[in-house]
Structure 1
């Protein structure tokens, strides 16, 4: 990206001055005002009670960032993991006791639940308001498995093999069959057993039970491969604005740690992760039914274009170079993404000379999960509150 002349910095680096209406910060509304969202339905009420099942390697960290920003801007309460963790005791089934504050007399009503968990509907319903909106996201299991193998390469189930192909040829055993990261991870996260393969005798019965269960528990399932369309569908489902669902891609890998997948390997993955494949096939189809019924194909195209335009404007305002960078090039440790396995997780550098308000807003857009969770934890549970809670936990 070409560096603007010094005299232009003030104009191009302020969120609330000298920028087009589409990205003008509106102090009164507490959100970006929109010049390209005139058809937004004013009759519906924005939803603020939300359950998001954060699945693995599906762009779910980007969605979590959207929810974190939305909730923080409006003073909503998050159901955060105990002890400043970022996961709700995953891979154990979710239990309300995993949420900070639940076991103390300081327990409060929660608005948003969006950290990694293994879904268990009765426990979630104990915690969240009755009118909560439940949604999640799924990804093509072939690409998902490649990402999972690289990201979790340090685990014994993957570490013993030289490559994903080697794992599929020589690493399939009882341990990998039961391992949540190695086998049918989507089904596992949704709360189902993950042991089925393409050769399981009662496979169709199991598949029907899984899909029926997900449809009963969730209002909406998004698709990673159609992320922009997913955000527009989410916007309409939650009655949010375009600015509420804009994002920068988080927790994404650099190309150097991506591996190409042959057709033969892809077919092996589909058979091994057959539950995930059938889940993906089903909800990929229902996704487009929802697009047509809730948004309409032409309106979807128009709003996706608006979303991309807004993202481009925010990229120009916020990001140095206009793109993600190798972690070695990130200047600010506060926005350094967690590195795992053999994956090279990219991050961002902010433009220099941002005013304080703009820098804060831009930082939130690029803030990784661990840092954002910690920030919300400290806001929601100031030190005095934490001390009281710890004392009460010891008494129980």
Structure 2
């Protein structure tokens, strides 16, 4: 016993140091959890290297305002676009906008900088690029500021193919059912419209002659891995939104979103396993893309921290529930909506809300683009005349109670989520 006491005394400094290290480590971990409940403004992604590593040292950052988003077809990209449109509209940012419709080019040609630079809507350098186009990273960089960050989203290829077949009216155009298309149309048949096999590879910018060459696809994937700091995954949407907020150094309240442009359930028919097997082989290029970025996504979630991610997702759900409660969103078929709130396709769903302050969440893409074009034209005129814009008068919302009374009556008065949503639903966002 005496010998053991002497040994403990001899190594008392080492033991004390170990205790201090353990205590400090616990404080750092608690600090991260505390940070999670207050702000997402700690950094997971490095600026240029795009490596997924997490440091125990909290680093503050500034919200990103120069952003380019590759809007892949039928990958919940309209919902992500709505987030970017709302954020840019709120913060008076400029957008890369086509003169008409909702895409740059025909969809059968790669993006060129002149598509933006020659437009009368883009006389001011854009901050946000979030329009459908066949991607060309070099050309997009020509129209965006030097410190632009890039991200995109991918989806399980068979689910994407099924959704796009229904949405694009391929049955009417080709005279073939989905099952007939899969069996009869060869993968290398020339593309005459936006719908065909391997939509993701196409949207990422692959030339048609290389679209089914897996070696070329892999080279493209490696380039995209370097170019895009974040690739979200549709099947992991809540985690994707958390990583999006972290990547852009935004608040979680900035990435709240409805399930916009979603295909109605009556148009979703599960495929037989035999057809899935055939289709999986034909979609090999898209699966190469999807599986690589799904694996990278897992690594980024791991780097963010599984426990930390679970807490962030829980907080995101709480804020989304509060938003749904405050705005009284009701899901409707497109045919049940009218005017600017009606989606272009009757095969998708939209939302109805009770007040203008929530309307930006429900605006279909084309309606939001009309709003942005109108605003951008005014900004260009103001820039030319070098005068300051007049203050915008908030619309009357007599049916909408004050935010403080609304939140208090529903028991949300002291929550940090309600404070953020009070700011988010400011009357100045109405139009």
The answer, yes or no, to whether TM exceeds 0.5 is yes
Q: What is the CA-CA distance between 1:179 and the residue it aligns to? A: 5.4
Contact 2:170/2:195 (8 A) holds in 1 = no
In structure 2, the gaps of 5 or more residues are: 1-34, 43-59, 385-431
How many equivalent residue pairs? 331
2:155 paired with 1:160: no
Which residue pairs with 1:376 in the alignment? 372
What are the within-5 Å matches in structure 2 for residues 1-396 of structure 1? 37-41=37-41, 43-82=60-99, 84-91=100-107, 92-99=109-116, 102=118, 107-154=123-170, 159-161=174-176, 163-172=177-186, 175-176=189-190, 180-194=194-208, 203-293=213-303, 295-320=304-329, 323-330=330-337, 332-339=338-345, 344-351=347-354, 359-382=355-378, 385=381
Q: What is the CA-CA distance between 1:56 and the residue it aligns to? A: 0.1
Q: Deviations over 1:324-363 (max 9, x none)?
A: 1222322x42211111xxx621111213xxxxxxx23310
**TM-score relative to the length of structure 1:** 0.78
Contact 2:66/2:149 (8 A) holds in 1 = yes
Q: Deviations over 1:54-78 (max 9, x none)?
A: 0000000000000000000000000
Q: 1:257 to 1:148 in 2, by over 3 A?
A: same
> Which structure is higher in RCO with an 8 Å CA cutoff and minimum separation 6?
1
Contact 1:180/1:188 (8 A) holds in 2 = no
Q: What is the CA-CA distance between 1:165 and the residue it aligns to? A: 1.2
Q: Give the secondary-structure state (helix, strand or coil) at the position aligned to 2:349.
A: coil
Q: Give the secondary-structure state (helix, strand or coil) at the position aligned to 1:382.
A: helix
Moved more, 375-384 or 171-180: 171-180
Contact 1:187/1:194 (8 A) holds in 2 = no
Distance (whole Å) between structure 2 residues aligned to residue 105 and residue 196 of structure 1: 34
Q: What is the CA-CA distance between 1:175 and the residue it aligns to? A: 3.6
Q: 1:141 to 1:108 in 2, by over 3 A?
A: same
Distance (whole Å) between structure 2 residues aligned to residue 87 and residue 385 of structure 1: 24
Q: Give the secondary-structure state (helix, strand or coil) at the position aligned to 2:250.
A: coil
Compare CA radii of gyration and give the structure with the larger one.
Answer: 2
**TM-score relative to the length of structure 2:** 0.72
Q: Deviations over 1:251-286 (max 9, x none)?
A: 011111111122222222221121111100110010
Distance (whole Å) between structure 1 residues aligned to residue 94 and residue 153 of structure 2: 22
Q: What is the CA-CA distance between 1:159 and the residue it aligns to? A: 2.4
Q: 1:180 to 1:271 in 2, by over 3 A?
A: farther
The CA RMSD over aligned residues, in Å, is 2.5
Distance (whole Å) between structure 1 residues aligned to residue 63 and residue 90 of structure 2: 14
